[in-house]
Structure 1
């Protein structure tokens, strides 16, 4: 689609979205309530639900958890899910740098599983439209194995994004974003009571974006709309949420050669925005629609029923050209002048349909001096994928004068249909003694069936356990210790038709939490994780995926946040992780650091408000984040990628109805890679991004 056509479509849609919001806006204005729902911002969360599936204070949860509120990730300029995690302890947020293919983050050096509203969203490596951060109210990160409640949980942990929900307080906003790389985004969010009964509330969130990207020739266009409605009764609450999202972009990562980036001779280093594909060939068009139902009913003061249900339908058309650095990583050029590379082509068209259901009963009761929150539930997931693909050799390209036209799209080959179902039964008891000590006990039994067309069904059964203890020893200091396990069925097969084994893991973690005031929270943690059957690249075939034998990850983390009375916010984190391959079918990596995994991460964020008058506030923010260097060990060589330190900044002017904000990430435009690999390719980092937002609130 031409740029002019996209601009015309943006203009039309920019008229449609305000029209769609008009009735809700009118209701909000008529309400005349000075306290708007969108004004209630939070920096330090007190509670989280992801770790226990119950509304539990963080100080009573014996596990390391990070809660990133929308206030924080908006201030820091996050544009996608992985960027919301940049200041979280133990999390390598941009694990593969600038990468539109997905939100690739690691926790404690290991892969997490992505959830949305407490239900799993992603099931394999097939590309799917990434969550829209403007539609989120917070992101919760549980570090370490968490299968007892969720079943499908990776060893790294869980990243659970929480969608915006309707509020019975009226409020709304319309905003316009303008930024470098021709970014233009219109966004709106309206919520409030519907009708006069006091039982219904609605919300409508919408985004329309027309944008370029750091990588030349690539767009970053999006349409997102998410209506929701809530009904509340005397003993029941029902929320129904729907969303539709359409993305038009391409792979921002160009897999630039190490020989022309990290190891380039003087004058031969490629620009991070270099595009080595073909404008008419490369694409990543994704469409995802979902419907979610959240229901709870209190039978009495003791028993409450929770029921969550979601259906996702996702279609993606992804194809790319990328340089063949893999045949000869150290010298991939095919000409004497060292300019021309062969290119490879790859394409995939997955159609995913995902049904998730989770039903549980919560019992709140006391036995003597012990208060119990007992949770017993059953959850079910049904993941189905139909997909076709192609791969092969394409035309070569001069990387220093990258001109490409007339590349034909190969014929797609239908892949075997995939289906994975999983049923889990779980029980958890949170036992609180004297309002000072909490013991968490949990157990779960899973049955997972993986079906691959043309192959025998694969059935995996697993029992996982969890035990944790946390207690207040005085001065709001709470040490804790916990043991957790994970079990993650891996659907699909390798290049040779072999089904994957489930990933298994277990963790021992001990730490301490300190909350000196309501506006402060500090956590320190020590951990050791063992993971088996992790998927990695096949050292003998770049198109294949294998499962290594065993990985051990151990380390220490510190995370803290403090909001002072004079509107001064400080958040900080530091983590040191030693992830090592202890067993593998690839001998050179045994006993070595885990490839592409930094050992040290650190961050600091400062934000201060300055009152300029009765109705005007100036806010300024400055942050720094450090990501340590990585290694990538291959059969012939080891590539070492230096670490990097980046700065982010915020400047915002708040008035009664208007907010003007300027976000700059990578303030000094530092050029870096994240990471470079022994396969001969480098993943470009994010260059400086500048986004100004004009918001009208009512």
Structure 2
């Protein structure tokens, strides 16, 4: 095969061309009239996360939400947590404004983060947070999902789908300015790279200079994501996805004392923007480079091979100085005037290497009246981490009139190297009976190994099952029933050097999906999750943990997406989650609401479009989201954090090539906590954020 590469190619010069076109390009008036913007309503009706095959949502017997890039941008989402703000069952910002990770909870548990179907983050490892502008969409599969994805808790799977090359030329460049001195340049260019149309490329970039809501800390980022797709033949395609990312920021959470926040007396409340660390020392700087290869080959119309591999390497330097609010939660101040807080300093500088692969064969065939889509595969994960860490006490700070610059840092020492690996073999059969009934059956076997320093290697085995059925009952109604399991290796030893058993979860889910027409989807789901082998304190040894804990999570979720006449698009959701501890050695938490998990979640978001002149349109969006109260139980009793309701807005003026957009989140600039804990600290929420963006498309 001979490839003809033009010299020079427009993609390579696209960024320069965008600036030049913005100044010099003119169109004929008649051509402009022909380019009137149609209503843009992007509603996903298919997903790959639930089955690892391209399956319609209406044929998937489990609750799944899909948030497209357009929806995320309209809602003003600036990170992965914020993308989930309007998704049913998801507490998008479980610990408020927290730059350390994208800490969301689903059905009372933490979902596992994947990217393009492969593990993105192992446990709570410090890796750079993903850039949402590089994502095509985000798919959230709710509930246990180990049958397809291996180790994970019972919350579900959060899969990020990267932007990929398109063979039709397109591009955009945007400039943003907003709250906290946010200045951002972003661009996205794609198109064919040769005359034969067999090679396509794409490059996505972001450059941001900004500050955090917390005083004195940066929020800077550089991202470059090149990708290329090569159509080797009509049946074979190879895609490379690259990523380079550099973040310079700090920890946005300051662990404000309960006594000077939610329980503060008049005039004694510490502002949510107050830095209780040090502007010259607090840092969360990360570097990451990754490359992924995605290979597809169709042996025939009924046999298809999918193969994916990704290697990622990240280096992080994390230093955080924070107040000691835990020694005496009721009164953490160390002076008689109630102003000084003792402080500690924690340093963690991990180097992380992660290799992930997933290879599967899809076979379509029929047995009588039954049509089968059988998926058989094997996936592998290898995770290695070395780190330099340190912890010590440092100088106190006046929380109400801080003076910075007086602090000490700990001596660093190497942390025990962590090596984890997991290999899993899975098989799944999607069975279609006529045009009405779809069943999904699957099983998986995993082996997970963990090695920490010189400790004995821990080896765990697990078998996970999944079964579900969904029926087209007519009128767009599709009731379904499903069962799924999860397992999560603990990867550590108890005080007596005995390995912990993996956490295990199971879920029963029943629901109905209603899709009377293409642009409408309503999902009602009821679920019952039980997770066992939860670690609790050993009553006979304070230095030990035992696995007597069990958590139950039962609830109902309603999620709806609908396009009304006259270009009005709306989404709405409501969730009720009764998550509680059913077994524990800590008696006060038994049969009580699970810590940090709200019972009620609700949201509604709508966008109305109006024509403007011959070629333009105006889009107005308004949304509201409610997060219910949370509870925390500690040795000093319980603490309840009030719920909160926030509003978001969108104003956009769009032309065929230009768009001018203003996004506002937390419209009323409400000050809230999400959540506070009986241990003594409060997590602050995000204040009002206003961002204006100008985008040129070509």
Same fold (TM over 0.5): yes
Note if contact 2:18-2:173 (Cα within 8 Å) is conserved in structure 1: no
Note if contact 1:21-1:204 (Cα within 8 Å) is conserved in structure 2: no
Note if contact 1:561-1:570 (Cα within 8 Å) is conserved in structure 2: yes
- Give me the whole-angstrom Cα distance separating, in 2, the residues matched to 1:164 and 1:230: 12
Unaligned ranges ≥5, structure 1? 1-16
1:653 alignment counterpart: 653
Cα offset, 1:65, TM superposition: 0.2
1:593 alignment counterpart: 593
Change (3 A) 1:175 1:526: same
Note if contact 2:167-2:192 (Cα within 8 Å) is conserved in structure 1: yes
- Give me the whole-angstrom Cα distance separating, in 2, the residues matched to 1:419 and 1:340: 42
- Give me the whole-angstrom Cα distance separating, in 2, the residues matched to 1:691 and 1:534: 42
- Give me the whole-angstrom Cα distance separating, in 2, the residues matched to 1:141 and 1:76: 17
Cα offset, 1:280, TM superposition: 1.4
2:202 alignment counterpart: 203
2:481 alignment counterpart: 481
Once the two structures are superposed, the pairs formed by residues 518-533 of structure 1 within 5 Å of their partners are 518-533=518-533
2:314 alignment counterpart: 314
Note if contact 1:649-1:664 (Cα within 8 Å) is conserved in structure 2: yes
Note if contact 2:537-2:586 (Cα within 8 Å) is conserved in structure 1: no
TM-score (ref. length: structure 2): 0.93
Change (3 A) 1:203 1:493: farther
Once the two structures are superposed, the pairs formed by residues 635-674 of structure 1 within 5 Å of their partners are 635-674=635-674
Note if contact 2:395-2:406 (Cα within 8 Å) is conserved in structure 1: no
Change (3 A) 1:354 1:41: farther
Is residue 2:448 matched to residue 1:448? Answer: yes
Cα offset, 1:584, TM superposition: 1.8
For the residue of structure 2 that corresponds to 1:447, the secondary structure is strand
Cα offset, 1:155, TM superposition: 0.7
1:11 alignment counterpart: none
- Give me the whole-angstrom Cα distance separating, in 1, the residues matched to 2:13 and 2:502: 49
Note if contact 1:93-1:105 (Cα within 8 Å) is conserved in structure 2: yes
Cα offset, 1:637, TM superposition: 1.3
1:13 alignment counterpart: none
Is residue 2:113 matched to residue 1:89? Answer: no
- Report how many aligned residue pairs link the two structures: 680
Change (3 A) 1:400 1:568: same
Cα offset, 1:548, TM superposition: 6.4
2:8 alignment counterpart: none
- Give me the whole-angstrom Cα distance separating, in 1, the residues matched to 2:126 and 2:507: 29
Cα offset, 1:204, TM superposition: 0.3
Change (3 A) 1:417 1:23: farther
Per-residue CA deviation, residues 486-537 of structure 1 (Å, 9 max, x unaligned), is: 1122345689977554221100000000001100000000000011244689
Is residue 2:554 matched to residue 1:554? Answer: yes
- Give me the whole-angstrom Cα distance separating, in 2, the residues matched to 1:532 and 1:24: 56
Once the two structures are superposed, the pairs formed by residues 115-514 of structure 1 within 5 Å of their partners are 115-232=114-231, 233-492=233-492, 500-514=500-514
Change (3 A) 1:541 1:306: farther
- Give me the whole-angstrom Cα distance separating, in 2, the residues matched to 1:231 and 1:473: 42
Change (3 A) 1:445 1:616: same
- Give me the whole-angstrom Cα distance separating, in 2, the residues matched to 1:142 and 1:497: 36
- Give me the whole-angstrom Cα distance separating, in 2, the residues matched to 1:548 and 1:649: 46
Change (3 A) 1:48 1:228: same
Once the two structures are superposed, the pairs formed by residues 46-61 of structure 1 within 5 Å of their partners are 46-61=45-60
Change (3 A) 1:261 1:536: farther
1:8 alignment counterpart: none
- Give me the whole-angstrom Cα distance separating, in 2, the residues matched to 1:616 and 1:451: 60
Per-residue CA deviation, residues 540-586 of structure 1 (Å, 9 max, x unaligned), is: 99999986611000000000000224211110000000101111232
1:76 alignment counterpart: 75
Cα offset, 1:449, TM superposition: 0.8
Per-residue CA deviation, residues 390-414 of structure 1 (Å, 9 max, x unaligned), is: 1121111110012221323211121
- Give me the whole-angstrom Cα distance separating, in 1, the residues matched to 2:496 and 2:459: 20
Note if contact 1:44-1:521 (Cα within 8 Å) is conserved in structure 2: no
Change (3 A) 1:487 1:102: same
Per-residue CA deviation, residues 265-321 of structure 1 (Å, 9 max, x unaligned), is: 011111110100011111000111110111110001121101011001011110101
Note if contact 1:443-1:464 (Cα within 8 Å) is conserved in structure 2: yes
Note if contact 1:69-1:137 (Cα within 8 Å) is conserved in structure 2: yes
Cα offset, 1:347, TM superposition: 1.1
- Give me the whole-angstrom Cα distance separating, in 2, the residues matched to 1:695 and 1:151: 41
- Give me the whole-angstrom Cα distance separating, in 1, the residues matched to 2:249 and 2:99: 8
Cα offset, 1:42, TM superposition: 5.2
- Give me the whole-angstrom Cα distance separating, in 2, the residues matched to 1:564 and 1:525: 24
For the residue of structure 2 that corresponds to 1:148, the secondary structure is helix
- Give me the whole-angstrom Cα distance separating, in 1, the residues matched to 2:186 and 2:582: 48
- Give me the whole-angstrom Cα distance separating, in 2, the residues matched to 1:27 and 1:444: 54
- Give me the whole-angstrom Cα distance separating, in 1, the residues matched to 2:676 and 2:51: 38
1:14 alignment counterpart: none
Note if contact 2:314-2:351 (Cα within 8 Å) is conserved in structure 1: yes
- Give me the whole-angstrom Cα distance separating, in 2, the residues matched to 1:139 and 1:361: 24
Change (3 A) 1:363 1:107: same
- Give me the whole-angstrom Cα distance separating, in 2, the residues matched to 1:610 and 1:411: 61
For the residue of structure 2 that corresponds to 1:417, the secondary structure is strand
Note if contact 1:24-1:192 (Cα within 8 Å) is conserved in structure 2: no
Change (3 A) 1:294 1:402: same
- Give me the whole-angstrom Cα distance separating, in 2, the residues matched to 1:182 and 1:537: 45
Change (3 A) 1:241 1:372: same
- Give me the whole-angstrom Cα distance separating, in 2, the residues matched to 1:184 and 1:668: 23
Change (3 A) 1:336 1:537: farther
- Give me the whole-angstrom Cα distance separating, in 2, the residues matched to 1:375 and 1:277: 51
Cα offset, 1:622, TM superposition: 0.2
Cα offset, 1:120, TM superposition: 0.7
- Give me the whole-angstrom Cα distance separating, in 2, the residues matched to 1:484 and 1:298: 30
Note if contact 1:418-1:491 (Cα within 8 Å) is conserved in structure 2: no
Higher alpha-carbon deviation: 396-405 or 615-624: 396-405
Note if contact 2:127-2:314 (Cα within 8 Å) is conserved in structure 1: yes
| RMSD, aligned CA | 2.6
For the residue of structure 2 that corresponds to 1:431, the secondary structure is strand
Change (3 A) 1:152 1:128: same
Change (3 A) 1:103 1:546: farther
Cα offset, 1:458, TM superposition: 0.4
TM-score (ref. length: structure 1): 0.93
